[in-house]
């Protein structure tokens, strides 16, 4: 299964509450923090919601 590396590139200060919760659910919280997740539709949806705050990379196993 492919994995996705998600890196937060912008702060969540002055962002709507739902975007803050999505960043926390992705395991992020501060700029330049990264997490690796399985490539699932749920994760893809969360990334799409906060795409202006994060950078993604596909990792092939």
Q: For Cα atoms 25, 46, 27, give the angle at the middle one, nearest 5 degrees.
A: 25
Cβ atoms of 28 and 21 within 8 Å: the answer is: no
Mean pLDDT calculated for residue range 35-61: 95
Q: Given pLDDT bands bounded at 50, 70 and 90, which one contains residue 55?
A: very high
Q: How many CB atoms lie within 10 A of CB 15?
A: 15
Domain limits at 42? Answer: 3-59
Task: State percent of the chain over pLDDT 90.
Answer: 95
Mean pLDDT calculated for residue range 44-54: 97
Residues in the chain: 61
Is the pTM value of this prediction over 0.85?
Answer: yes
* CATH number of the domain that residue 23 is part of: 3.30.1390.20
**Cα–Cα distance between 40 and 31 in angstroms, integer?**
23
Domain tally, the chain: 1
Cβ atoms of 9 and 54 within 8 Å: the answer is: yes
């Amino acid at each position: 299964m492919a994995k996705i590396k998600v890196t937060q590139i912008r702060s969540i200060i002055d962002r709507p509450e739902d975007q803050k919760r999505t960043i926390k659910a992705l395991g992020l919280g501060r700029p330049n923090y990264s997490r690796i997740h399985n490539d699932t539709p749920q994760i893809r949806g969360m990334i799409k919601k906060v795409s202006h705050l994060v950078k993604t990379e596909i990792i092939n196993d």
